[in-house]
Amino acid sequence: MGVIEDERWKGVYRMDDSPYLLEILTELRNRETDSIGFRKGLVKLGRFMGYELIKTMEYEKLKIETPLEETEGIVCRDRQNVVIITVLRAAVPMMEGLVKVFEKARIGIVSAVRGKAPDFKIDMHYIKIPQIKEEDTVIIADPMIATGSTLVEVIREVRRYGDPKRIVILGVLAAPEGINRIKSEFPDVEIFVTEIDRELNDDGYILPGLGDAGDRAFGLPVKLSTLPQLRSIE
């Protein structure tokens, strides 16, 4: 299992070569998956995408003593210098998975609401971000990268708190329109997703998508809603 750089963008990676991650994504897409199953799926994706992200981090070799002899090992100092920014609501389960991998991570919280088409105005209701150091990798967790509007605003806020070594967006799905928006403003920001979907519709929903990740994770069953009313969190 590994990450594949998408030929359309530099620094944009898919993980769709992994049958395990694609099976989890299939469960998330399925409208019959209940909120418990949906949350568990996001936790799993956060954890295993975190493992894959570590493969892109720098590490050092070192000598250690086993009970029997000296041998060589490694230490990944980048893994110890991580800030996870959680975009409410749907990213909370993903953050739960990520902290199992980056157990020393400092956590930031951003609450943002995207308005209706065509403006997609972003209202930031709550921002709590720790001070960022130059050796930090900032991971912005947001399951759905749709229009990219929310994430552009979040990146702007992150840069107010310091200049990190890397800024990485970690998501489940992305639309090409959202990736284009983010990369046009922040070409150095990296994006890691399980899959890149086909497009957005006129209301800013990812197609084929998986619906509103926040509603589905926290208890609004899809079968009680009409799909056009579901709002993807970009």
Please name the residue that has the structure tokens 């110890």. 80
Q: List the domain boundaries for the chain.
A: 4-229
**What local confidence, expressed as pLDDT, does residue 73 receive?**
96
> What is the C-alpha separation between 233 and 213, in angstroms, rounded?
7
Residue 115: what pLDDT? 62
DSSP state of 136: P
Q: Residue by residue, what is the 3-state secondary structure of 27-69?
A: HHHCCCCCHHHHHHHHHHHHHHHHHHHHCCCCCEEEEEECCCC
Does residue 72 contact residue 96 with C-beta atoms inside 8 Å?
Answer: no
CA 221/CA 227 separation, integer angstroms: 11
As beta bridge partners, residue 125 has none
The answer to whether 14 and 170 have CB atoms below 8 angstroms apart is no
Please tell me the CATH code under which domain 4-229 is placed. 3.40.50.2020
pTM of full prediction above 0.75: yes
Tell which phi-psi region holds residue 209, choosing left (phi > 0), alpha (psi between -120 and 50) or beta.
left
Mean pLDDT, consecutive 10-residue segments, the chain of 234 residues? Answer: 86 93 96 95 96 94 96 95 93 96 96 70 84 97 94 94 97 97 97 96 91 85 42 38
- Euclidean distance between CA atoms 125 and 111, whole angstroms: 5
Across the chain, the runs of DSSP E, i.e. the strands, are 4-5, 12-14, 60-65, 70-75, 82-88, 106-114, 122-128, 137-141, 144-145, 166-174, 190-196, 199-200, 206-207
